[in-house]
Chains A and B, each alone.
Chain A
Amino acid sequence: MNGAHDLGGMHGFGPINPEVDEPVFHEEWERRAFAITLAMGSHCKWNLDMSRYARESMEPAEYLSTSYYEHWIHGLELLLLEKGFLTEDEIQQRMSDIAAQEKT
């Protein structure tokens, strides 16, 4: 599939700016996103190609403006829905529950 992820040879992205002494993860949510993605992978309901395809299915402008683990989470959510592990409503409900809890 070609798409926004197919970046080889594209112009206009500017300098690379490597970060000095970069940590493995920058924020706690990245740790969690990484771990749940790997752990769910061990159920063998999908393979690496399917995960990649799910990540790359992101809307192109969104793909380019979001960070790496956001691609992962987008892909994971899609596969969880597709394989019937979770439903959209469940996820929305849990998100509002957690948001409400965090406000108190």
Chain B
Amino acid sequence: MSKHHHNDPLPDTVLRVKALESLLVEKRLVDPATLDELIETYETKVGPRNGAQVVAKGWTDPAYKQRLLDNATAAIAELGFEGRQGEDMVVLENTDDVHNMVVCTLCSCYPWPVLGLPPVWYKSAPYRARSVIDPRAVLQEFDVELPETTTIRVWDSTAEIRYMVLPQRPAGTENLSEEQLADLVTRDSMIGTGLALDPESKA
């Protein structure tokens, strides 16, 4: 059975959203230009490309990486990424021994300034339910196989603290520029349900 988690809305939902927007605009509680700007920002400006730049800088600049691990919010702000849903960031470093993975079992907490808005699967019941009891099986669904000796650490986000994973730098990337490295950093690798891309397979 292929169950799609993007369910159709209830019959009244679309109408309800239109009614709320129209009333709020009429009462000047929201400004239509602000609404369009918010949508444009999250559709085109804020997304995993931001996080990828943070990771690439962390891979190439050891002092920056240290700042990232010591005070992620400030280090991320150095690159100009800050604000809503990223006020208190923690960066988790993946190593040969430890693989970190992020979930929000209660809702959808996610580091917006570096990753944008969360994908549907991150907010879905299966991911929220299963990542904390069977992370290895969850990772297999994302085609990630880790050695048995690797510890998997699952971090449950809260409304206050938002996590981002610093994936391991792939082998054979010594000569790549920061920008080329950023191309290897996928959204899922920063959630922990993926690994950074192998430059060979990408090319």
Please state if B20 and A77 are interface contacts (CB–CB under 8 Å).
yes
Total chain A interface residues with beta-carbon distance under 8 A: 54
Chain B: residues with Cβ within 8 Å of the partner, total of: 62
B129 near A98 (CB under 8 angstroms)? no
**Assuming the A-B contacts A29-B14, A98-B15, are A76 and B20 also in contact, with contact meaning beta carbons closer than 8 angstroms in the complex?**
yes
**Cβ contacts under 8 Å, A22 to chain B:** 119-120
Contact B7 A34 (CB under 8 A): no
Residue in contact with B17 in the complex, picked from A16, A56, A68, A73, CB distance below 8 Å: A73
A29 to B12, CA, bound (A): 11
Contact A65:B23 (CB < 8 A) given known A8-B129, A16-B121, A22-B120: no
Which residues of A have CB within 8 Å of B30? 35-36, 39-40
Asked if A29 contacts B128 (CB within 8 A), the reply is: no
| Additional A-B contact list (11), CB under 8 Å, known A32-B18, A39-B38, A98-B22 | A6-B106, A8-B133, A18-B188, A22-B119, A31-B39, A33-B17, A34-B117, A38-B38, A73-B16, A76-B20, A95-B19
- B residues contacting A by CB (< 8 A) are 1-7, 9-10, 12-24, 27, 29-31, 34-36, 38-39, 42-43, 47, 84, 103, 105-108, 116-117, 119-121, 123-130, 132-133, 138, 141-142, 156, 159, 188, 193
Most buried by A among B29, B105, B107: B107
